[in-house]
Amino acid sequence: MTTMKHARLVMLFACAAACGALARGSDRDWAALFNGKDLAGWKNYGAEKWTVESGQILGEAVTKEYGYLGTEKSYVNFEMRGKFKAEGSGNSGIFYHASIDGTSIQGVQVEVDPRPNMHTGGLYETGGRQWIVWPSPDGERAMKVGDWNEVRFSVQGNHIMTWVNGVLALDYTDPKPKFTDGIIALQLHAGGEGKMRFKDLFIREVK
């Protein structure tokens, strides 16, 4: 083997090792929002039923009112990822920068809907502008009906990005953000038809 080839191989191995270390460091940056055992770190708002089953958060509508399961901690700039599966016909969402009084919520919702073409991955502002932006056509098509779906979103200042099953759903800079700090909350929509499962919920704060 020539000296030049040997040097190139050394550089390639060094690069691979560095990339692997970076990926592992990135994984360590993610913190679990849900421990898979109980609802420690979360608070129930409303009369809907939130339990842990098979390592998943199960939200079940028992009234026709809204219900929320919110984090005890607030977040400003962060990335979040998780998986959801609908077993009822009612829609849901993951709120961020939220505040809740009883079952009255204000904040921004990353839409989670079990039906196709209902804007999963879009942004809806409660206590403000309502629909802010819908997902792209590719994002609309990414949602799998009746199956587990992964949603991921990044909130950094007024720049928000969402992904549905790895497909970029939106990349949006909000010209007039109303909410800039608050809890994360899982929603059961009013109407009494909600039954949602959530798992693998992780967050990474961005300083």
pLDDT of residue 8: 46
Give strand pairing partners of 67. 188
User: What is the reported pLDDT for 204?
Assistant: 98
Amino acid in the structure at residue 68: Y
Per the document, the length of the chain is: 207
CA distances from 163 to 64, 111, 167, 169, 198 (A): 30, 11, 5, 5, 16
Percent of the chain, pLDDT > 70?
86
Nearest to 164, CA basis, from 183, 136, 128: 136
- From residue 205, alpha-carbon distances to 96, 144, 156, 167 in Å are 13, 28, 10, 22
More confident residue, 3 or 174: 174
Q: pLDDT at position 189, please?
A: 85
Q: How far apart are CA 204 and CA 156, in angstroms?
A: 11
Res 163 pLDDT > 90: yes
Q: What is the pLDDT of residues 10-53, one digit of tens each?
A: 344 444 444 443 333 456 799 999 999 999 999 999 999 999 99
- The predicted model scores a pTM of 0.85
pLDDT in tens, 124-158: 999 999 999 999 999 999 999 989 999 999 999 99
- Is the per-residue pLDDT at 170 higher than 90? yes
- The residue assigned the tokens 């400003």 is 76
Mean pLDDT for the stretch of residues 59-73: 94
Q: Express each pLDDT in 95-109 by its tens digit.
A: 999 999 999 999 999
